[in-house]
Amino acid sequence: MRRRIRKDHERFKRIVKGKIREDLKELIGGGYLQGQRGSEKVKVPIKDIDIPQFRYDPHSAGGIASGSPGEEGEEEVGTPIGADEGDLGSEIRPGSGPGTHYPEVEIDIEELAQIIGEELQLPRIEPKGEETEIKEGQSYRDVSITGPETLLRKKKAFRKGLIRSILLQAGKEEDALPFELPTPKAVIKDGVVPIKEDKEYLYPNREERSKAQAVIFFMRDVSGSMTGEKTDIIRQENHLIDIWLQANYDDVKRVYLIHDYNAAEVTEEQFYQLSTGGGTRISSVYKLCLEKINRKYRPDEWNIYPFHFSDGENWAQDSLERCLPLLVDDLLPKVNVFCYGQVSPDRDMPRGHLRALNKVLAEDEKMATSIISDRAGILSSIKDFLGTGR
Amino acid sequence: MDLRELEGQRRRARELVEKEGLDPYPVEFAIVDKEELDELAAYEGFPERYPHWRFGMEYDHQKKRSSYGGMRLYELVLNSSPALAYLREDNTAVQNKAVMVHVYAHADFFAHNKWYKGTGKSGIKMMRDHAERIESYMESEGVEAVESFVDKVLSLKMTIDQYGPFLQRRTERGDEGGEGNEEGNKIPVKRDYMDRFVNPPEKAEQGGKDLKGRQGSKTGEEVQLPTSDLLGFLGREGKLEEWQREILAALREESYYFAPQMMTKVMNEGWAAYWQSKIMSERGFAKDSEFLDHADMQSRVLGSGGLNPYMLGKRIWEDVKERWDKGRHGREWENCRDREKRKNWDREEERGREKIFEVRSNLNDVSFLDRFFTREVFQEMNLFTYEWVQGSGQYHITSKDFEPVKRKLLFQFTNMGRPTIKVQTGNFENRGELLLVHEFNGVNLHLGDARRVLKNVYSLWGKPVNLKTVREKSGRITQIGFKERDPFRRRSAPEKQREGLLLRCAGSEIEEKKLDLAQVEELIFDSVDYDTVPDSWRS
């Protein structure tokens, strides 16, 4: 990339990041950060980053489009053709050209995590069990100014040499561009000899492979009262947790556990969809979590992060007599941090389960708890959970 | 890429287009790789532009489009003499040939379409000068200050009088001698071809009766009002520092440079596609073995969705050529309703070529579409109009008929697809406030963006800024997909509900005041109804 465009590009990215920082609460509360599983990018709608112009209200202006040829008849008068103004017509208006409207910007998860980290002043996690090995990869994606002749980019060197020769011969009168350039043909006839500056060599990528790996246990209560708004809050919160841990570890595995009176492992999709009418017994999911850890995730190899969300209701007996012993004796020694979130839009005081936890574990550095009473509380809750840097 | 072979192809391409009667500017072709092309595209093709984040944004998007959007950018050409165009290093031979012909047709259009007369021949140098000037202001005034000022000016880059240069050049050529002694009052302009319309010599007084529309300016000069050249007005009258005035003048010059390309997009792209197809296929510039590759390349360009200016323009050029070859024009043709007779109509006039060259010299998209987007062209293109329906929260197809489609088409190209905003006075209510008016054609202004623009205008004007507009509330639409229902049960469309609005920006706040219709009556220009919702949908 040339210097000029790199500077403009960096400037643009800085502005985008500034905007995200500014709107972070709103973006998170509104559920606007959309990432796709497996993708390294997150789509973020950015308000007002475009340069505003006097323009028509698209709803008032309507538009014109062409139907697909061959499929004539499918498009009848009255057929709905979409709700998003960006899809239609905007390309064809002569005044629009490039740069009319960009409601969404994609940024790297890593970059978003950095912003979130800085805004919340989250300490970077120091993973345990990390081993780094460097191995020379097979791909040659970088270039270097020195290297063996076999890796010289010959065509590129020739081209650069040619351009240099042309410019050298033409550069007498600097002011008047376009000046008379000798034809490439004439230059080639005289011979083009690439000099050092023209030469680039392929350079093997060094892959740093770090073995720091983490497993996240997402757990939630799916009994009757845990629906709607509460689900949305949990989804957003989990997404952010996921982004942050992904940025801190090279390899992240996810396990989704739900419970009412009993617990079960589910897919991510089911995790947010399922809802049952049954009662609540939190110890069931803590027990399942422990079983999973014991079976698959050895604490000396894995960084283990259980997150549990419920509305705080549980049998007092279950919380005190089953959950606490499970946590104190088995789970806490194995995990990096165990996080419990009470999602209770109607109140911000601790309920039964959280009160029980606080009674014994309030001072335990491996236990983090938080009350999320509305969407605006998501950010501070992330801070409660991950602010320890564990 | 074999340069000798390439030069041979270039010379051949030039020969072929000249044989067809095209007379392009000389063209320099530069060979670039994909990344360089993405960069150049971000800078609208220019090797040097002033530093600004929006180019970085364009680059970001361009890179995505070309990497995984599947959109390959084939051709990029600058209006300049010599013109500058780019060839991608991984182009195949047939792609290079096609791009060259296409580019030569653009260079012919730049050189001969009359709307380009004001743009001069040195666009590349102009952009480089502006880059240097703005960069040097960044050094003296600070990057932030300059960039934020540029943002504000760019917010108004389309509020110019795009017809101005052409009209003034024609009517006022005789007055040129008189402008030498007013040097001090003028907007600084580096090239004299621009000077004539950036600082037009005063028109002769048309008697004292339109005094209302004029005002004494701070520089003692008189400015003709109302004007659509808001940018020029602010450059003269705004509360600006010298460096700001300079930058505004530079950016305004760029707007005037680009305006003709926006005013002739369909014509120009169609012209290039037309000649590319003709020369590559009919004249055999694509070898037999390359025929399929070229067809594939062309279908990518012509077949992309929406309303494709390449396709639309090419169809119209072909139609005009055929009609004037066969004498299908004039009153007799227009009045002929006999389908069979029209189909076989051939007076062997053979004036098609002459006609298309005449049209390419004289029209812009609006007049081109107005005259030559005929029912026949329409019937081949499967176009439809759509409107937003509040109740469903979606756009719906509203018509597939010729008249509504043509009306909507013209709407989208009139005034470069933008609402018409004019400066009414710089001394509104005797308080030195700026009054802008929106000439309402039945389509509402986007008020959210208008508010943001007003804030920018405020900072250039230095005093409160007002905008008068008209707002129409559409009648509620209850029936969609009325086909199943009784098509004869027509309901009358509701009275259009309109109200006047006055927005006033005095800093960060914007006040909004409702006005009686009587107060905005002179802003309503709605003789053409752009709304294509069928009456039967309204209740």
User: Residue A257 belongs to what H/E stretch?
Assistant: strand A251-259
pLDDT given for residue B355 in this prediction = 97
Amino acid letter for position A162? L
Q: Which residue of A has its CA nearest to B125?
A: A177
Residue with tokens 């049960």: B489
DSSP label at residue B524: B
Contact B3 A67 (CB under 8 A): no
Dihedral pair phi/psi, residue B468, rounded to 5°:
-100, 130
Q: Which two tokens stand for residue B376?
A: 């026949």
> Is the predicted pLDDT of residue B190 greater than 50, yes or no?
no
pLDDT tier at B486, thresholds 50, 70, 90: very low
Provide the chain A residues 163-182 that lie in CB contact (below 8 A) with chain B. Answer: 177-178, 181
Q: Rounded to two decimals, what is the model's pTM?
A: 0.75
Per-residue confidence (pLDDT) for residue A208, from 0 to 100: 52
d(CA B389, CA B409): 20
pLDDT of residue A89: 37
Cβ pair B22, B110 in contact under 8 A = no
Q: Cα separation of A37 and A30, whole Å?
A: 19
| Residues of B with Cβ-Cβ distance to A58 under 8 angstroms | 388, 446
What ipTM describes this predicted complex?
A: 0.86
- Residues of chain A neighbouring B452 (CB-CB closer than 8 A): 48, 52
DSSP string of A139-161?
Answer: ---EEESS--GGGB-HHHHHHHH
Mean predicted confidence (pLDDT) in B221-239: 87
Mean pLDDT of chain B: 84
Least Cα separation, residue A171 to chain B (angstroms): 16
B-chain residues near A89 (CB < 8 A) = 306-307, 386, 412
CB atoms inside a 10 Å sphere around CB A157: 20
A259 phi/psi in degrees, rounded to 5: -155, 155
C-alpha distance from residue A168 to each of A2, A20, A192, B12 (Å):
21, 47, 12, 28
CB of A11 within 8 Å of a chain B CB? The answer is yes
Q: What is the pLDDT of residues A182-241, one digit of tens each?
A: 677 666 666 677 777 777 777 766 555 556 889 999 999 988 777 788 888 898 889 889
**pLDDT in the model for residue A76:** 80
Q: Do A12 and B51 touch (CB under 8 A)?
A: no
CB atoms within 10 A of CB B198: 23
- What value does the mean pLDDT take over residues B269-289? 91
Half-sphere exposure at residue A62, Cβ-oriented, CA atoms within 13 angstroms: 28
CB spacing of A55 vs B445 below 8 angstroms:
yes
Cα separation, B165 vs B178, in Å, equals 18
Output the 3-class SS for B284-320.
CCCCHHHHHHHHHHHHHHHHCCCCCHHHHHHHHHHHH
With a CB cutoff of 8 Å and minimum separation 6, the contacts of A323 are: A282, A283, A286, A314, A353, A356, A357
How near does any CA of chain A get to the CA of B122, in Å? 9
DSSP class per residue in B127-169: HHHHHHHHHHHHHHH-HHHHHHHHHHHHTTTT-S-TTHHHHHH
Asked if the C-beta of A141 comes within 8 angstroms of chain B's C-beta atoms, the answer is no
- Both tokens assigned to A323: 């959950």
B169 has a pLDDT exceeding 80: no
* Rounded Cα distance, B255 and B165, in Å: 12
pLDDT, residue A189, reads: 65
**Element containing residue A63 per DSSP (H, E):** strand A63-66
Retrieve residue B243's tokens. 């460096």
Q: What is the mean pLDDT of residues B41-67?
A: 89
pLDDT at A249: 86
Give the pLDDT confidence score for residue B412 in this predicted structure.
Answer: 93
Q: Which of A366, A358, A327 is nearest to A342 (CA)?
A: A358
A78 φ/ψ sector (left φ>0, alpha ψ -120 to 50, else beta):
left
Q: Assign residue A246 a region: left if phi > 0, alpha if psi is -120 to 50, beta otherwise?
A: alpha
CB < 8 Å to A158, chain B: none
Instruction: Between B210 and B108, name the one with better pLDDT.
Output: B108
* Lowest-pLDDT range of B89-103, B280-294, B399-413: B280-294
The kind and range of the H/E element at B259 are helix B242-263
Of B135, B388, B460, which to mutate for an interface test with A (greatest number of A Cβ within 10 Å)? B388
Alpha helices in chain A (DSSP H): 3-29, 58-61, 109-120, 154-170, 184-190, 229-248, 268-273, 283-296, 316-317, 324-325, 332-334, 352-361, 378-386
**Which CA distances in Å does A176 have to A163, A171, B82, B192, B254?**
18, 10, 12, 17, 20
Cα A274 to its chain centre, rounded Å, is 25
Distances in whole angstroms, Cα of residue A143 to Cα of each of A147, A154, A191: 9, 13, 26
Q: Is B428 helix (H, G, I), strand (E, B) or coil?
A: strand
Cβ neighbours of residue B373 closer than 8 Å, sequence gap 6 or more? B316, B406, B409
Longest dimension (CA), chain A: 93
Q: Pull the structure tokens for residue B191.
A: 């090239």
B167: confidence class by pLDDT, cuts 50, 70, 90: low
| pLDDT score of B230 | 96
Tokens found for residue B390: 């509040």
Q: What mean pLDDT do residues B149-167 have?
A: 88
The first and second tokens of residue B449, run together, are 């963006």
Task: Enumerate residues 321 to 360 of chain A having a beta carbon within 8 A of any beta carbon in chain B.
Answer: none
pLDDT given for residue A212 in this prediction: 82
Which ranges constitute the DSSP H helices of B351-401?
352-362, 365-372, 375-381
Residue A333 in 3-state DSSP?
Answer: helix
Residue in chain B lying closest to A185 (CA): B4
* Per-residue pLDDT at B282: 87
Q: What is the mean pLDDT of residues B300-315?
A: 82
Partner-chain residue, chosen from B59, B263, B382, that has the shortest CB–CB distance to A67 = B382
CA distance A246 to A238: 12
The residue ranges of chain A whose pLDDT is under 70 are: 1, 34-39, 48, 68-75, 83-103, 127-141, 169-182, 185-191, 204-211
CB contacts of B483 in chain A (<8 Å) are: 76-78
Chain B contact for A102 (CB, 8 A cutoff): yes
| Closest chain B residue by Cα to residue A88 | B306
Residue A291, Cβ neighbours under 10 Å: how many? Answer: 11
Neighbouring residues of A187: CB distance < 8 A, sequence distance ≥ 6:
A162, A165, A166, A169
Residue B256 DSSP SS3:
helix
Which residues in chain A are closer than 8 Å to B532, comparing Cβ atoms?
62
Beta strands in B200-337 (DSSP E): 214-216, 222-224
Q: Note whether B158 contacts A9, CB cutoff 8 Å.
A: no
> Would you call B61 and A102 a contact, using CB atoms and an 8 Å cutoff?
yes
- The neighbouring-strand residues paired with B222 are B216
Which residue of A59, A78, A105 is in closest CB contact with B397? A78
Sheet of strand A34-35, all strands in order from the earlier edge strand to the far edge: A34-35, A41-45, A104-108
Chain B: closest CA distance from residue A253 (Å): 28
User: What average pLDDT does the segment B30-39 reach?
Assistant: 91
Residues B58, A51 contacting (CB under 8 angstroms): no
CA A213 – CA A302 distance, rounded (Å): 6
Residue B1: the pLDDT is: 67
From the list A194, A201, A226, the residue with the least C-alpha distance to A311 is A226
Q: In this complex, which of B7, B397, B447 lies closest to A81 when CB atoms are compared?
A: B397
Count helices and strands (H / E) in chain B: 21, 12
The enclosing H or E element of A253 equals strand A251-259
Pairing assessment for the beta strands A338-343 and A303-310 based on DSSP bridges: parallel
B524's tokens? 């309503």
CA distance A305 to A215: 6
Q: Between chains, do A94 and B157 touch, taking CB under 8 Å as contact?
A: no
For chain B, first and last CA: distance in Å? 65
The span from the CA of B3 to the CA of B11, in Å, is: 12
Q: What pLDDT score does B358 carry? A: 97
Chain B nearest C-alpha distance from A74 (Å): 11
